[in-house]
Amino acid sequence: MAELDHIVIGARTLEEGAAFVESVLGVKPQQGGRHEGAGTHNLLLSLGPSCYLEVIAADPSQPDPPHPRLFDLDDPATRTMLDAEPRLLGWVARVSAMDALMARLGPRGGELREMVRGDLHWRMAIPAPRQDMDNLIPALIEWKGERGSKRLRDSHVRLVALEAEHPEAEALRQALSERGLDDVLRPRRGSHPRLLARLAKPDGSEVTLSSG
């Protein structure tokens, strides 16, 4: 079983990310924490009982990690984009049987990492660089115990739809299908890769965030 866990907004700093979210959605994200050893930290915003929005940025209080930061935060093109403003970067899918899925996917599943923050514990499978079709193939997460979304206060913002466009939509569709994500994201052909998240604000109006 696989389903949407969260969407990810990248920012140059968490302060810039918080200001962006408040300006676009009308609510402030709440404190998340540090990803020790990964070189990042985050803010979080509930999108309902089962998914949330993450604002992620490089953590200046940590040394550079031994591997690239998640969601291409170290990529020069991503850095240039985030210099202009925070941006939707990708999404993460929740799975319940990570070992079985990784065994089936083999190297295509990416690198499996154990992550801990306080009493929260999870594992993530990170697609290899340039093999994630511009972040449209999600990282996979398996929570050990309570999920992070369960601790967030209700923001009254809701995710209406998650959409994707890609020149090779059929290849993307196949990659999502083999991860059990057919019903979560149905890509369509587009001139360039992009992820789109349609969100309903507390007042009922809608806004669309785009990765490109």
173 lies in a domain?
no
**Cross-sheet strand order for the sheet of 52-58:** 30-35, 40-46, 52-58, 2-10, 87-95, 139-143, 120-126, 111-117
Residue 129, pLDDT score: 66
The answer to whether 196 and 164 have CB atoms below 8 angstroms apart is yes
Per-residue pLDDT of the chain (212 residues; tens, 9 = 90+): 689 999 999 999 999 999 999 999 999 999 999 998 889 999 999 999 899 999 999 999 999 999 889 899 999 999 999 999 999 999 999 999 999 999 999 888 888 988 888 878 899 998 876 667 888 999 999 998 778 777 899 999 999 999 999 999 999 999 999 999 988 988 999 999 999 999 999 999 999 999 98
- How do the residues of the chain divide into helix, strand and coil, expressed in percent and rounded to 5? 25, 40, 40
CATH number at residue 143: 3.10.180.10
Parallel, antiparallel or unpaired: strands 139-143 and 87-95: parallel
Alpha-helical segments (H) within 13-69: 14-25
Alpha-helical segments (H) within the chain: 14-25, 76-84, 98-105, 169-177
10 lies in a domain?
yes
21 lies in a domain?
yes
182 lies in a domain?
no
59 lies in a domain?
yes
56 vs 136: CA distance, rounded Å: 17
Q: How buried is residue 175: exposed, middle or buried, by Cβ count under 10 Å (0-12/13-18/19+)? A: buried
Residue 6, pLDDT score: 96
Return the bridge partners of 191, or none: none
The single-letter DSSP state of residue 129 is: T
171 lies in a domain?
no
- 10, two tokens: 């990248």
Number of domains in the chain: 1
Residue 177, pLDDT score: 93
197 vs 212: CA distance, rounded Å: 12
CB atoms within 10 A of CB 186: 15
**What digits encode the pLDDT tens for the residues 171-204?**
999 999 999 998 898 899 999 999 999 999 999 9
Residue 17, pLDDT score: 98
Parallel, antiparallel or unpaired: strands 188-189 and 158-166: parallel
CB atoms within 10 A of CB 147: 19
199 lies in a domain?
no
The answer to whether 41 and 51 have CB atoms below 8 angstroms apart is no
Residue 186, pLDDT score: 86
Average pLDDT, the chain: 92
32 vs 37: CA distance, rounded Å: 16
Say how many Å lie between the first and final Cα of the chain, rounded.
29
- Give the range of the structural domain holding residue 54, as residue numbers without chain letter: 2-160
15 lies in a domain?
yes
Residue 131, pLDDT score: 62
User: In residues, how long is the chain?
Assistant: 212
157 vs 187: CA distance, rounded Å: 24
Residue 140, pLDDT score: 94
